Structure 1
Amino acid sequence: MATDAAAAEEADAYAELTERLERITAVQGASGVLGWDQQVMMPSGGTPARSKQLSVLSSMSHEMLTDERTGELLDACEELDLDGPESAVLRETRREYERAAAVPGELVEEMSSTASEALAAWEEAKAEDDFEAFAPYLERHVELKREYAEHVDPDRDPYEVLFEDYEPCLPLERAEDILAELKGTLVPMIDEIRASDVDVTTDAFEGTFDADAQEALSRDVLSTLGYDWEHGRLDVSSHPFTSGNQFDCRVTTRFDESDPLGALMSTIHEFGHAFYNLGLPREHYGTPLGESRDLSVHESQSRLWENQVGRSRAFWDLVLPEVRERFPDVDASVDEAYESANQVYEDNPIRVEADELTYHLHIVVRFEIERALVSGDLDVEDVPEAWNDKYEEYLGIRPGTDAEGCLQDIHWAHGNFGYFPTYSLGSVMATQLYDAASGEIDDLDGKVREGEFADLQDWLRENVHRHGARYETDELVEHATGEEFTASHFLEYVTEKYGELYDLEESV
């Protein structure tokens, strides 16, 4: 009888654990809405109160996760010999629990309040092109993140520990190898492109493009792609981002009246993030089975829609009439629009406006600088010069201001060190996933041209979204594509695509 009672108690432990996870998710979700509001709608003077609100919620979710009862429930559940989806819940929760339990609640609260204050300081510093005004907040973030990494694992490279917050399933060494592989292929390719005398159209979208008309176009394109407006919305922020879950997922973009492509590509990119979130299993909301598989996979979804779809010739066949409807002065052909959308820039310092090739050198710059910051090999005060030097070395340009240089991204204002490599990992993964989808969907290119995205959406839902965090990154990619995660698809894709555009010699 006692044995039966013990078994029942163990079985109840899993239900109690998932209920606890759902409550933690609710608190974190409230933080997410407040963070979205701070970047989109909050009055500029609201920072002091918002900082306290976010730090309290951050502390609450940390306390709930690290509570002694959470550990007891995990121990009890692990005695149940669960397999399949339930074992994945335990694996993911155990990982988060052990990392969180190693970090004092006071530090978590301070990191949150610092991020809230730094965000307001960053927005003002960027607007005023004043790095010195932001520098104290960046320095404090670096100190706090070093302390955080020391608590999680004092015996490892602190940057490696921070990277695991965004990609816990792929080792940093693997990310470094892929970045090195991309750099080794792309640098000579970009040099060859810049030396090419092939006449690629670059001015299909020159002129002045009203911001309101750009927003209307963004909404048109989101609808064309299949954005679920009943569960989402589009707003403007200083840096494009996506926030939410499978019930409420919002996207933002920004508009430059001289660059309609920048806003359009950013909007499509954020659609990819939102489409992933909205496709996660609703019945598992609040547990790892209803959560995304971390940032590399998340970025694969945004980069797939931005690059494989949004920069394709078929997509421009589809969308150019919508562009002309909003901007009658645009008289480019489909080929000219396609070439302009895929031109390799010689003088663009902005990551979110970068072309598909130089984009990865933007990532390498950030990766090298933030790693040096965390290790103590670079002082915060020297970031602008280091940034500009690396841009000159890798991209052949030198930003004219810090606003278009080291202040352009929001990530360091949030304290997100270790995030940037996932953009390149995601781009590589996107190509592999799209190749697999193309092999299973008849005439996918033709379907994009006709605006028929249902088959691609269904493929992504079936092979990626519905699994939540059940599989680790490598396993998910292999499950979806039938092969291990590899950079080869991406390198073959860019070699073929840009070889055709710029008449390059074939090489990978």
Structure 2
Amino acid sequence: MSAFDDLLAFQRQTEALSSVAERLGWDQETVMPRGAVEQRSEEMAAMESVLHERRTDPRIGEWLDQAQAEDDEDQRILDLIARDFHRAARIPARLAMELARQTSLAQGIWADARANEAPQDFLPTLNDILMLKREEAAALADGGDLYDALLDDYEPGTTQAEIAALFDAMRPRLVALREDVLGAEYQPQALKGDFPQETQLRLARACATAYGYDWTRGRMDIAVHPFSSGRWQDSRITTRVVETDPFNCIYSTIHEVGHSSYELGIDSDYAFTPLGRGVSMGAHESQSRIYENQIGRGRAFSGWLYQRMSDAFDGLSVPDADAFYATVNRVTPGYIRTEADEVQYNLHIMLRFDLERDLIAGRLDTDDLVEAWNTRFLKDFGVAVDRPANGVLQDVHWSVGLFGYFPTYALGNVYAGCLHAALRAAVPDLDRFLAAGDAGPAVEWLRENMQRHGGLYPPRELIERATGADVSELPLLDYLEEKFGAIYRL
């Protein structure tokens, strides 16, 4: 066997073990007994120890020195393995294990603190994780910027300066649109009623099926914070249910189907290689957001959903499909990021981006985080946070150490705006299919032009290849102004 073959065989086992570790995380957030948290934290630490040892095995460096790429695909595999090897080699095994242990424990602590409205029960644990993440960032940065080192895990090649410039470009138009919408004479009515859990879950499954979700390679469960998990032949989704708000369940499900479909849509030849997963979280979010928003909250698909919901719940409080479309896209100054409308969602991300940059840089202490969050939220949204579960405790991300992840949500929205413009040009009669509850043509275009490539191209190049245009925030902003201008009769 050649050095390249030896390296790929070794990588295949590492990827398989990584998938097992991910399955442990899925189990912890869905069906694991609550009393097993400490045991699971030790199991996760043990798995991370094995994985870290493999990722830093000196033979990888030797194989990389000797391996010869026969084509661009091989070269990309070598580049990705080398990147991961050099990053992993900078992190001490002790630190990798401790991060796995502490973040596994922290998930339960966060969930209990959120349920009990008790940030004081979580903040000491968050501070422990923050110290570990600063140490990790320092090891990865090698004298460079700490936050950039963490961001590079989720959106390779992007810096906080680039994200900040993007947000500065987006904010004025988003704020102006929000002010126009909230000040409009016409305001859509809220959906009212009680919506039983089992009925919501049946509708959510129907929506996932409408998007072609492969139930032979996936499943749906309930979690505190919806997520997807897995790849290749096993990619699972989760959702959550609020019996007064069926949109929470339905659109969380569609969102996670977008993530899962990306993983399931990758070329099967890439399984157990670095190409066999989504190339970045921004790319991943582009799929979940375009599935959820541009497709799922569009007039055509929402019309189909209106009839299904009206039948399932024996009528709705809104009179017709047009009113339902406006209700689905209703803009309100709410607290929760995952429930935020398209106009305000990115403003939620900008808040988190600035706060977590300050945490990593040491400009903000965890003891002051609640006050900093509440002050910034009031400034940005004009509403005072009423309780911690609607404020600093609402997201799971920091409890599991995902510092640098949040900005990829907004970047995913930008990518989705670019993809949607290209999709509409390529499939001009798309609404005819969506009105019949068939998202297949949209999914097929996304799979062919983006999803199947997995990690073959860097994130921005992937989007630009799919769309034939440079990445820009303008398609997203233009789409939002056109859509919400029409809904609110501006």
Q: Does TM, scored on the shorter chain, surpass 0.5?
A: yes
Contact 1:170–1:474, Cα closer than 8 Å, also in 2: no
Matched, 1:445 2:431: yes
**1:21-76: per-residue Cα shift (whole Å, max 9, x none)?**
11111111111111001000011110111001111111111110111001111111
Q: Map of 1:143-182 to 2, 5 A cutoff?
A: 143-182=131-170
Percent of aligned pairs with the same residue? 37
Could you say which residue in structure 1 is the equivalent of 2:215?
229
Q: How far did residue 141 of structure 1 move?
A: 1.0
Could you say which residue in structure 2 is the equivalent of 1:45?
35
Could you say which residue in structure 2 is the equivalent of 1:14?
4
Could you say which residue in structure 2 is the equivalent of 1:407?
393
Q: Which of 112, 133, 145 is equivalent to 2:100?
A: 112
Aligned amino acid, residue 140 of structure 1: D
**Cα distance in 2 for residues equivalent to 1:209 and 1:447:** 27
Contact 2:286–2:416, Cα closer than 8 Å, also in 1: yes
**Cα distance in 2 for residues equivalent to 1:105 and 1:499:** 53
**CA-atom RMSD in angstroms:** 1.2
Could you say which residue in structure 2 is the equivalent of 1:344?
331
Q: Which of 45, 54, 58 is equivalent to 1:68?
A: 58
**Cα distance in 1 for residues equivalent to 2:249 and 2:366:** 31
Aligned amino acid, residue 405 of structure 1: G
Q: How far did residue 331 of structure 1 move?
A: 5.0
Q: How far did residue 454 of structure 1 move?
A: 2.5
Matched, 1:23 2:48: no
Runs of 4+ in 1 over 3 A off after TM superposition: none
Q: Map of 1:61-210 to 2, 5 A cutoff?
A: 61-77=51-67, 80-197=68-185, 199-203=186-190, 205-210=191-196
Q: Map of 1:445-464 to 2, 5 A cutoff?
A: 445-464=431-450
**Cα distance in 1 for residues equivalent to 2:160 and 2:485:** 31
Q: Could you say what secondary structure the match of 1:231 adopts?
A: coil
Aligned amino acid, residue 170 of structure 2: L
Aligned amino acid, residue 81 of structure 2: T
**1:67-97: per-residue Cα shift (whole Å, max 9, x none)?**
10011111111xx254311111011111111
Q: Could you say what secondary structure the match of 2:225 adopts?
A: coil
Q: Could you say what secondary structure the match of 1:249 adopts?
A: strand
Contact 1:169–1:474, Cα closer than 8 Å, also in 2: no
Matched, 1:308 2:298: no
Matched, 1:55 2:42: no
Aligned amino acid, residue 48 of structure 1: E
Q: Which of 309, 320, 329 is equivalent to 1:323?
A: 309
Could you say which residue in structure 2 is the equivalent of 1:36?
26
**Cα distance in 1 for residues equivalent to 2:289 and 2:429:** 21
Contact 2:117–2:388, Cα closer than 8 Å, also in 1: yes
Contact 2:211–2:440, Cα closer than 8 Å, also in 1: no
**Cα distance in 1 for residues equivalent to 2:390 and 2:455:** 36
**Cα distance in 2 for residues equivalent to 1:458 and 1:265:** 20
Contact 1:201–1:343, Cα closer than 8 Å, also in 2: yes
Structure 2 unaligned regions, length at least 5: none
Contact 2:99–2:132, Cα closer than 8 Å, also in 1: yes
**Cα distance in 1 for residues equivalent to 2:423 and 2:175:** 29
**Cα distance in 1 for residues equivalent to 2:89 and 2:423:** 40
**Cα distance in 1 for residues equivalent to 2:424 and 2:208:** 22
Q: When the two structures are superposed, what TM-score results if normalisation uses the length of structure 2?
A: 0.98
**1:85-115: per-residue Cα shift (whole Å, max 9, x none)?**
1111011111111111111111000000000
**Cα distance in 2 for residues equivalent to 1:85 and 1:118:** 39
Aligned amino acid, residue 33 of structure 1: R
Q: Could you say what secondary structure the match of 1:250 adopts?
A: strand
